[in-house]
Structure 1
Amino acid sequence: MSNLGKKRLDTVLAIATYSIGSGTASAAPTPGGEIPKQLILTASDILMYTSIWKIYFEEELSSKGLLEILAELGLVTISATGTAYVVSKASTAILKEITNWTGPLGWGFTAAIAASLSGLFGVAWALYCDQLYSHREQQPV
């Protein structure tokens, strides 16, 4: 297996692990406590992003300047993605508050949504990292 192929496989496994964790954590009912839970899930998502970055570039994301990442992605992309992320987390929290009263069926529905959203954002970040890594590998030394 090529180095890029291994990185992609490791990334898929990381995304799956974090998405399942988010879905599982979201399934438990916590009436009135959804906003703090979403903050914890957001921290988990950030760990997923840093893990993916480390898989591709073998460096901690924190060692790369935030301004450099913003410049690479483009500020418009960051703004749109950030807004979509905040809206999705807020929507999940509101939906979870409503489904807390519907029992296990509602909890499962919310868990599926939370896992899907984490996975979707993880895949988007992985695609960016993959494209950036491929571009860097093609440049002559």
Structure 2
Amino acid sequence: MSNLGKKRLEVVLAIASYSVGSGTASAAPTPGGEIPKQILLTVSDIFMYTNIWKIYFQEDLSSKELVEILTDLGLVTVAATGTAYIVGKVNTAILKEITNWTGPLGWGLTAAVAGSLSGLFGIAWAIYCDRIYSQRELQSF
């Protein structure tokens, strides 16, 4: 397996782990406490993004590099993605508050939604990192 193939496999496993963790944490009922839980899940997502970056580039993602990445992506894209992320987290919190009353079936639904959202955003970030890594590899030849 190539170096890029190993990185991709490691990233897929990382995204799966974080998504399962996010879904599991979301499943536990916490009436009235969903917003703080979503903040903690957002921090977990940030750790997932930095872990994916580290898998590809063997370096920690610094604030300087983050600004460069945001500039590279374009502020409009970043604003749209950030807005979508926040709306997704708020909707998950609202859904969770409603499903707290429905018991285990509702908790499972919320876990699936939360895990899927984390996974989708992780995949989007991984695709971006994969593209940058591939471009750097081509330039080094």
Give the alignment's TM-score, normalised by structure 1. 0.97
Displacement of 1:65: 2.8
Q: Return the alpha-carbon distance in structure 1 between the equivalents of residues 71 and 8 of structure 2.
A: 24
Gaps of 5+ in 2: none
Question: Is 1:127 aligned to residue 89 of structure 2?
Answer: no
1:63 deviation in Å? Answer: 5.9
Instruction: Indicate the residue corresponding to 1:76 in structure 2.
Output: 76
Aligned ranges 1:20-59 → 2 under 5 Å: 20-59=20-59
Instruction: State the shift of 1:140 in Å.
Output: 3.6
CA distance in 2, matches of 1:31, 1:83: 25
* Runs (4+) off by over 4 Å: none
- Computed over aligned residues only, the root mean square deviation of the Cα atoms, in angstroms, reads 1.0
1:112 matched to 2:112? The reply is yes
TM-superposed CA distance for 1:64, in Å, is: 4.2
The alpha carbon displacement at 1:23 in A equals 0.2
* SS at 2:62 equivalent: helix
Name the count of aligned residue pairs: 141
Q: Distance in 1 between matches of 2:64 and 2:17?
A: 25
CA distance in 1, matches of 2:140, 2:45: 34
Deviation, 1:73, is 1.2
Whole-angstrom CA distance in 1 between matches of 2:137 and 2:63: 20
Note the C-alpha offset of 1:72. Answer: 1.5
- Of all paired residues, the percent bearing the same amino acid is 77
Paired residue for 1:93?
A: 93
Gaps of 5+ in 1: none
CA distance in 1 between counterparts of 2:96 and 2:52 reads 28
Report the TM-score, using the length of structure 2 for normalisation: 0.97
- Tell which deviates more after alignment, 58-67 or 88-97: 58-67
- Paired AA for residue 21 in structure 1: G
